[in-house]
């Protein structure tokens, strides 16, 4: 018969989830919550998505542990609407040679994953990403500048990735200068 250990403070059964098995070697029979009473209040403010830590500066930050970014994003949708921070990016696909997509997202890598699901070859490529204080404003500025010089369909522009990159970096530089005046 297997002996089950219980916490000597709260009498809960000790498992791999609430107790570190290495504590068995030092005869510690206390669950993690009883061992550190501040654990829940301290760690409750941290955000993890798929086991990866998400900093508080992330626009969709909301304390907790989430299985995927979609789950975390939907639970923090209010942050998405009110926080302008994010990224402006360039994505290409060889199926549309000569075209680049300039878009905005809270997380460009996550956006790329969404595009890949609609491509059987998973051949979208994220070429350039810029962190910005106002993703909507920067994207609109870059779209306006690119629209004046090249053919476009919504967020797709017929130009080289290098030109789109220069426009993003230039608009980002202008936006940074505006913040100091």
Note whether 94 and 71 are same-domain residues: no
Measured between alpha carbons, how far is 142 from 175 in angstroms, rounded to an integer? 11
Please state the length of the chain. 181
Q: Distance between CA 48 and CA 50 in Å, rounded?
A: 6
Residues 37, 108, single domain; the answer is: no
**7, 31 contact by CB (below 8 A):** yes
Bridge partners of 87? Answer: 105, 131
Which has more confidence, 127 or 58? 127
Q: Identify the domain containing residue 17 by its residue range.
A: 1-41
In the chain, what is the greatest distance between 2 CA atoms, to the nearest angstrom? 78
Among 27-41, 80-94, 97-111, whose mean pLDDT is lowest?
27-41
Q: Are residues 27 and 112 in the same domain?
A: no
Cβ–Cβ under 8 Å, residues 126 and 107: no
Q: CB neighbours (10 Å) of residue 161?
A: 16
Q: What is the mean pLDDT of residues 134-152?
A: 94
Mean pLDDT computed over 2-27: 73
- The mean pLDDT of 73-91, rounded to a whole number, is 72
Residues 70 and 98 in one domain: no
- pLDDT bucket at 22, cuts 50 / 70 / 90: confident
What total number of domains does the chain contain?
3
**Same domain assignment for residues 173 and 114:** yes
Q: Please give the pLDDT value at position 101.
A: 97
Q: Are 135 and 70 in the same domain? A: no
């Amino acid at each position: 018969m297997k002996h089950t250990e219980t916490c000597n403070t709260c009498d809960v059964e000790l498992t791999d989830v609430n107790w570190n098995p290495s504590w068995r070697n030092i005869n510690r029979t206390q669950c993690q919550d009883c061992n550190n009473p501040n654990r829940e209040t301290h760690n409750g403010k941290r955000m993890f998505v798929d086991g990866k830590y998400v900093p508080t500066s992330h626009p969709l930050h909301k304390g907790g542990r989430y299985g995927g970014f979609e789950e975390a994003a939907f639970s923090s949708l209010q942050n998405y609407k009110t926080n302008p921070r994010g990224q402006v990016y360039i994505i290409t696909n060889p199926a549309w040679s000569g075209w680049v997509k300039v878009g905005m997202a809270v997380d460009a890598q996550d956006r790329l994953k969404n595009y890949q699901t609609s491509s059987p070859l998973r051949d979208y490529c994220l070429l350039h990403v810029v962190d910005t204080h106002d993703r909507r404003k920067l994207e609109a500025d870059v779209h306006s500048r690119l629209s004046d010089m090249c053919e476009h369909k919504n967020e797709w522009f017929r130009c080289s990735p290098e030109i789109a990159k220069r426009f993003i970096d230039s608009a980002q530089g202008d936006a940074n200068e505006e913040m100091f005046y």
